[in-house]
């Protein structure tokens, strides 16, 4: 087996530093709101806040932030969106793998024949995204959506992959 017959690009998905930081900030911020709201209810607060309406609103926002931090922690734990893109020249297939929500479709594992690949396309909306064009299918995004790439980075990645796949770049 030659070393350059298989290329595999990992995708981090929800396991990013920004998600970890937001989950921690939301957890501690919402805990502060909950603590202050409940202390107002029991008249133990050092602040001059009445329970109705200020304390009640603080409890509401505290619960909201707490459940949002729980949700973020859960998607980080499950690794939603993480996976890899594999381009295998030796066996003539392309594999796109991602983890999803629990259930029967948790594993999203797509295989495409090498001969069905039409090309690659770079699109610029708010950032540059590299798409794989497959015969008879919708275009498949290959780049990390969470990590915006510069034009030079996406151009280098796209040209390297197009040369490896031996397809045109649009």
Task: Tell me the pLDDT tens digit for each residue of 84-127.
Answer: 999 999 999 999 999 999 999 999 999 999 999 999 999 888 78
Of 78, 109, 127, the domain-final residue: 78
Do 155 and 101 share a domain, yes or no?
A: yes
Q: Which residues contact 170 (CB under 8 A, 6 or more apart)?
A: 119, 120, 121, 122, 133
Within-domain flag for 60: yes
Can you give the CATH number for the domain in which 164 is found?
Answer: 2.30.29
This prediction has a pTM of: 0.80
Tell me how many helices (H) and strands (E) the chain has. 3, 8
Do 32 and 99 share a domain, yes or no?
A: no
- Give the pLDDT of residue 38: 93
- Give the pLDDT of residue 146: 65
Question: What's the token pair of residue 62?
Answer: 């505290």
Within-domain flag for 93: yes
1 pLDDT above the threshold of 60: no
Of 27, 51, 78, the domain-final residue: 78
Within-domain flag for 66: yes
Cβ neighbourhood burial of 1 (10 Å; 0-12, 13-18, 19+):
exposed
| Contact (Cβ atoms closer than 8 angstroms) between residue 38 and residue 59 | yes
Do 98 and 159 share a domain, yes or no?
A: yes
CA dist 130 and 154 (Å) reads 7
């Amino acid at each position: 087996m030659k070393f350059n017959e298989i290329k595999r690009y990992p995708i981090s998905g929800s396991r990013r530093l920004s998600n970890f930081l937001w989950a921690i900030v939301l957890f501690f911020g919402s805990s502060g709101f909950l603590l202050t709201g409940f202390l107002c209810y029991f008249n133990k607060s050092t602040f001059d806040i009445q329970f109705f309406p200020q304390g009640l609103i603080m409890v509401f926002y505290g619960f909201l932030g707490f459940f949002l931090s729980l949700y973020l922690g859960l998607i980080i734990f499950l690794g939603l969106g993480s996976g890899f893109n594999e381009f295998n020249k030796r066996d003539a297939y392309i594999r796109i793998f991602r983890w999803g929500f629990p259930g029967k479709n948790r594993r999203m594992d797509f295989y495409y024949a090498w001969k069905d690949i039409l090309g690659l396309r770079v699109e610029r909306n708010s950032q540059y995204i590299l798409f794989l064009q497959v015969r008879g299918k919708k275009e498949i995004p290959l780049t990390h959506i969470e990590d915006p790439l510069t034009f030079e980075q996406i151009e280098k990645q796209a040209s390297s992959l197009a040369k490896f796949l031996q397809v045109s770049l649009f």
